[in-house]
Amino acid sequence: MNSNEEKKTDENHDDDVVLKAFLQLLEKDIKDNPQNLKRITEGDFDRWRKLTEGIEVPDINSPLLDEDED
């Protein structure tokens, strides 16, 4: 394994640890405060659509430009 592969593996492991900790925090909060949960309504979706109206989202499958590669 070269150093780039090792670095990616370490980064993935770090991401997994952080993600796991975050999910555990969410789980605890949901158990401790179930009264804070609410259904997402069609009105919520309408509000989000208005908030994001006109925002262009790039195609995530398109190749990166050279200046975006870092």
Burial class (CB in 10 A: 0-12, 13-18, 19+), 50: exposed
Q: How far is 40 from 30, CA to CA, in rounded Å?
A: 16
Mean pLDDT of 21-34: 97
Least confident of 5-9, 21-25, 59-63: 5-9
- Residue 40's identity, in one-letter code, is I
What the block records as the tokens of 39 is: 């259904």
What digits encode the pLDDT tens for the residues 30-63?
A: 999 999 999 999 999 999 999 999 999 888 898 8
pTM: 0.46
Q: How far is 8 from 6, CA to CA, in rounded Å?
A: 5
How confident is residue 13, by pLDDT bands cut at 50, 70 and 90?
low
